[in-house]
Amino acid sequence: MTADFISYKKACQIFDSNLDKSKLLELEASGATAPLKKFKSGALFKKGWEMKDLPSIGREFGFLPSFESPMSIAVFTTKGGVLKTTLTYNVARMAALHGLRTVVVGLDMQGDVTNTLGHEDHEGDGSELTEELMRKINETQGLYDVFMGNALVEETLYSTELPNLFYIPETPELASLAESIGQINRREYWLTEKIINPLKEKFDLVIMDCSPNWNKLTTNALVACDTLLSPLECKINNFRNFKVFKHFLGEFLDDMRLDFKTIFIPTKFSNQKKLSKEIAQWYLENVPGCTTGGIRESVVSEEAQAMRLSLIEHAPKSNAAIEMRSLLMEVFSQFEPKKSRVTPRMDMNKSTEFPKFN
Ligand SMILES: Nc1ncnc2c1ncn2[C@@H]1O[C@H](COP(=O)(O)OP(=O)(O)O)[C@@H](O)[C@H]1O
Ligand SMILES: [Mg+2]
């Protein structure tokens, strides 16, 4: 069986659908979906699709709601290891599998999402691994090249095995970019104006994977996003982080006169741990914008990423994948365009009287 052959049965599981055969035949005939093909699987022939065909199936038979205008999403909180990149990757891949033109913008020097997208994959026996990797990294055009005027945005877009999923990879120069943006006028708007707005003309969904650091790339991503996705780790030491994060986010929104929807997503909870369940419950009751679903701690989720798949593709029938499906439905139905804040918020406790000069 070839690695990217998806059987009819597996596609049904991924999209949680019975893929009604009569409707499928109708759509196949009209050219709206790719035709079913026969693949050899062991000694048997099975019917299915190549990976590249799946978005045309997902568009017709998937479970995600669509949205009207292009949407930019930032994934951010000031903590590492809380599933920001995992969430970015799962949202992006499932969006693409549902036929949405999707682009991931990597904003973390650690390069995790770039790596998961397979950018630094190499062929050969591994003996020249370091050299090959460094060559690839040096050759990669990224956001810094656009900033320096050495590349156009479209020249930084890399393709994937899904024809409608692209990404702008993270390069080591993101460190210089974060510093350089800080020196220019309209320093919070560079990403919006030069990258995200142009991307929104070509893509339905732009998703930015942020680093946990509050740097200029992060503030640019916040300005550029329509909706923010923010993981809430279900661990006791995350309470402090959450409070501090909310405070800084609130101040930033006020200072920048910004208003966008923030969706908080509980992550890494464990149904076996009483404390973890209590924390998840507390978030649900006390955090406005907290989703009812979340991402549980699970090995299949880690495995999926190692195989460069979304959790739902890797283990569609697992509990973790069932929860991911309802979480994504919940999250996608809440995406909304950035609100415009016409008047700055006023502090009603402050005197609004004009000072008297004697
Ligand atoms: N459901 C899960 N439960 C536990 N660990 C996970 C899960 N999904 C992914 N992981 C692993 O957790 C680690 C941190 O996740 P990551 O998404 O990179 O966090 P962040 O981007 O917030 O730093 C990664 O090694 C990832 O493979
Ligand atoms: Mg990350």
Q: Note the pLDDT tens digit of each residue in 219-264.
A: 999 999 999 999 999 998 888 899 999 999 999 999 999 999 999 9
* Ligand 1 pocket member 118 (CB < 6 A): no
Q: Whose CA is nearest to atom 14 of ligand 1?
A: 81
Angle (CA) 18 21 24, round 5°:
100
Measured CA to CA, the distance from residue 61 to residue 59 in angstroms comes to 6
**Is residue 21 over pLDDT 70?**
yes
What's phi and psi for 220, nearest 5 deg? -65, -40
306 and 251 housed in the same domain = yes
121 and 170 housed in the same domain = yes
Helix count and strand count (H, E) for the chain: 16, 13
Q: Whose CA is nearest to atom 20 of ligand 1?
A: 81
Q: Please report the pLDDT score of residue 22 as a whole number.
A: 87
Q: How many residues does the chain have?
A: 358
Angle (CA) 174 256 112, round 5°:
25
351 in a domain, yes or no? no
* Ligand 1 pocket member 235 (CB < 6 A): no
Q: Which residue has the higher pLDDT, 159 or 1?
A: 159
Share of the chain above pLDDT 90, in %: 73
Q: Please report the pLDDT score of residue 161 as a whole number.
A: 95
Residue 345's pLDDT band (cuts 50, 70, 90): low
Q: Please report the pLDDT score of residue 1 as a whole number.
A: 43
**Mean pLDDT across 263-276:** 93
47 and 67 housed in the same domain = no
* Ligand 1 pocket member 83 (CB < 6 A): yes
**Identity (one letter) of the amino acid at 23?**
K
7: DSSP letter: E
39 and 145 housed in the same domain = no
Say how many Å lie between the CA of residue 184 and the centre of ligand 1: 35
Q: Which of 11-20, 56-65, 78-87, 301-310 has the lowest mean pLDDT?
A: 11-20
217 in a domain, yes or no? yes
**Identity (one letter) of the amino acid at 107?**
L
115 and 15 housed in the same domain = no
- 303 alpha carbon, closest ligand: 1
176 and 217 housed in the same domain = yes
Q: Do residues 119 and 169 lie in contact, with contact meaning Cβ atoms separated by under 8 Å?
A: yes
Q: What digits encode the pLDDT tens for the residues 42-88?
A: 888 888 999 999 999 999 999 999 888 999 999 999 999 999 999 99
Q: Of 25, 26, 33, nearest to 55 (Cα)? A: 33
Alpha-helix residue ranges (DSSP H) falling in 98-236: 112-116, 129-139, 143-147, 174-181, 190, 197-202, 216-224
Q: Do residues 84 and 77 lie in contact, with contact meaning Cβ atoms separated by under 8 Å?
A: yes
84 and 13 housed in the same domain = no
Measured CA to CA, the distance from residue 44 to residue 38 in angstroms comes to 10
Q: Of 119, 159, 113, nearest to 137 (Cα)? A: 119
253 in a domain, yes or no? yes
129 in a domain, yes or no? yes
What is the best residue among 75, 78, 83 to mutate for testing ligand 1's pocket, by most ligand atoms within 8 Å of CB?
A: 83
Q: Please report the pLDDT score of residue 41 as a whole number.
A: 81
Residue 342's pLDDT band (cuts 50, 70, 90): low
Q: Do residues 245 and 78 lie in contact, with contact meaning Cβ atoms separated by under 8 Å?
A: yes
Q: Please report the pLDDT score of residue 171 as a whole number.
A: 95
Q: What is the CATH classification number for the domain harbouring 281?
A: 3.40.50.300
12 and 160 housed in the same domain = no
Domain count within the chain: 2
Say how many Å lie between the CA of residue 279 and the centre of ligand 1: 19
Measured CA to CA, the distance from residue 324 to residue 303 in angstroms comes to 15
35 and 173 housed in the same domain = no
The residue segments making up the domain with residue 97 are 63-340
163 and 28 housed in the same domain = no
56 in a domain, yes or no? no
47 in a domain, yes or no? yes
Residue 188's pLDDT band (cuts 50, 70, 90): very high
* Ligand 1 pocket member 289 (CB < 6 A): no
347 in a domain, yes or no? no
* Ligand 1 pocket member 298 (CB < 6 A): yes
309 and 182 housed in the same domain = yes
Q: Please report the pLDDT score of residue 46 as a whole number.
A: 87
222 and 144 housed in the same domain = yes
Give all strands of the β-sheet with 37-41 in edge-to-edge order. 5-7, 44-50, 37-41
Q: What digits encode the pLDDT tens for the residues 95-119?
A: 999 999 999 999 999 999 999 999 8
354 in a domain, yes or no? no
Q: Do residues 291 and 331 lie in contact, with contact meaning Cβ atoms separated by under 8 Å?
A: yes
Q: What digits encode the pLDDT tens for the residues 135-175?
A: 777 889 999 999 999 999 999 999 999 999 999 999 999 99
Beta strands at 227-233 and 205-210: parallel, antiparallel or unpaired:
unpaired
